Amino acid sequence: MALTMQGAFYTGQYRNVFLEAGYSPEEIDARLEQAWNDLFDGAPEVRIYFPLGEDQGYVLDTGNSDVRTEGMSYGMMMAVQMDKKDIFDRLWNFSKSYMQHKEGRYKDYFAWHCKPDGTRLSPGPAPDGEEYFAMALFFASSRWGDGLPPYDYSEQARTILRACVHKGRDQEGDPMWDPATKLIKFIPESPFSDPSYHLPHFYELFAERADERDRIFWKEAAVASRAYLHLACHPETGLSPEYANYDGTPAEPQPHGDYRHFFSDAYRVAANIALDWEWFRQDPWQVGQSNRIQRFFREIEPSEYRRYRIDGSPFEEPALHPIGLLATNAMASLAADGEDALPFVHKFWSTPLRTGIRRYYDNCLYFFSLLALSGKYRIY
C-alpha cells in the first residue's frame, strides 16, 4: 500500500482506496453520486433527507422519527463535500431556526433533537453535533464564500466554538470540552466523554480558523484526543466503549443505559481515527489500531455482528446497525496496512445502502465511508 510521509493536509493528495482496490474512476464516481441521490432524493424506503417549505430541510432519524443535531450536522458535511449548497443551506436554516438556542445557559448550542416540524423534544445539546456544525460551516465558507447572516458561515462556526470553550468562563453555562483535560464531554454537564466524539483532525483545523485566543486550546485538544484514544481502545481487540471516563476506562452505567461496551456510538471511532490519519498522519499508533479492529472482525459476517465487551466477548444482542459497522471497518482501511484492509473495502463495495426503519445511522456512516475511500472526504 503506497503511503506518503505526510497527510493530505500537507500534500493536498487524497488516497482513492477504491481505485487501489481495482475499481474504475467512473464506477467510483457513479457509486458516490447514486448514494447521494438515494439518500437525499430517493425512494421512501432509503432516503433520509426531506425538504421543508421553501428554504429548509431535515435529515430524519428514521428509527426514532426525530431530527437530531447529529444527522443535521452530518447532512451539512455531506452536502459541502458534494458541493450541494442548496441542501446545505436548507439544513442550516432548519438547524438555525429551530435547534440553536438564542438565550440562556445553552445560548449558541443546539437542542439535540426535535420533531420534523421543529418542535424541540429536549433542550440539552450533544457536543458531536456542535463540532460537525462548526467544521461543515468552515468548509462551506472556504468552498462558497461567506454571505449575509445566517450564511456568514465562518462567523457562525466561530460563534459555536466560542460557546463550546468559554461557557463557564465568560459565558453562562457549561463548556463542551473539559478545561482541565481538553477532552470533549458526552454532554456539557457530564464528567466523562464519548470516544466516538473525538475528532482531532477537526481540532487541528479549528486551531487555524477559530478565534485567535482559542487556537492554542484547539491544538492542545487535538493532542489530548489522540492520546485519549490510545487509552479508550482495547490494546488487543481495538474495541472501545460507547462512553468512557477521562482516563479511557469505560464509564459507569447511566440512568438511560449501560454504555460500557462496544455498540452503536463506538463504531465511529475506527472511521475517525482513519480520517485523522489520512488528513494529518501524526500518530503511527493509528495504523496498528486500524489493523487490530479489522483483525477482530475478519471472520465475522455483518449479519453476525453483536454487542461486544471491549475485550471482544460477545453478547447475544445483535448489532442494531450492522451496515454502519461494516462501513466504519472498511473506512479503517485508510490507515490500516494489514492483510484485512482490501478485503474490507471489497466487502463494503459489494454491500448496498440499508433500507427500512433503521437505515438512518447506518447510511450516514456508509456515505462518509464512500467519501473517504474514494478520496472525496476533503479539507476545504
Report yes or no: 59 and 91 within 8 Å, Cβ to Cβ.
yes
Place of cell 471497518: 329
DSSP category for residue 99: I
How much of the chain is helix, strand and coil, in % rounded to 5?
Answer: 50, 10, 40
Q: Which residues are catalytic?
A: 70, 265
Q: Is the peptide bond before 343 cis (omega within 30 degrees of 0)?
A: no
Can you name the residues that pair with 314 across neighbouring β-strands?
308
87 grid coordinates: 441542501
What is the distance between the alpha carbons of residues 146 and 266, in angstroms, rounded to a whole number? 35
What is the distance between the alpha carbons of residues 162 and 175, in angstroms, rounded to a whole number? 9
Non-local CB neighbours of 34 within 8 Å, separated by 6+ positions = none
The amino acid at residue 53 is G
The amino acid at residue 267 is Y
Q: Using alpha carbons only, how large is the chain's radius of gyration in Å?
A: 19
90 grid coordinates: 436548507
Can you name the residues that pair with 69 across neighbouring β-strands?
none
Chain centroid offset of residue 65 CA: 20
Phi and psi, residue 143, nearest 5°: -80, -40
Place of cell 498522519: 281
Q: Which of 28-35's residues contact partners 24+ apart within 8 Å by CB, and which partners?
A: 28/374, 29/374, 31/349, 31/370, 31/374, 32/82, 32/370, 32/371, 32/374, 32/376, 35/353, 35/366, 35/367, 35/370
Report yes or no: 135 and 172 within 8 Å, Cβ to Cβ.
no
The amino acid at residue 242 is E
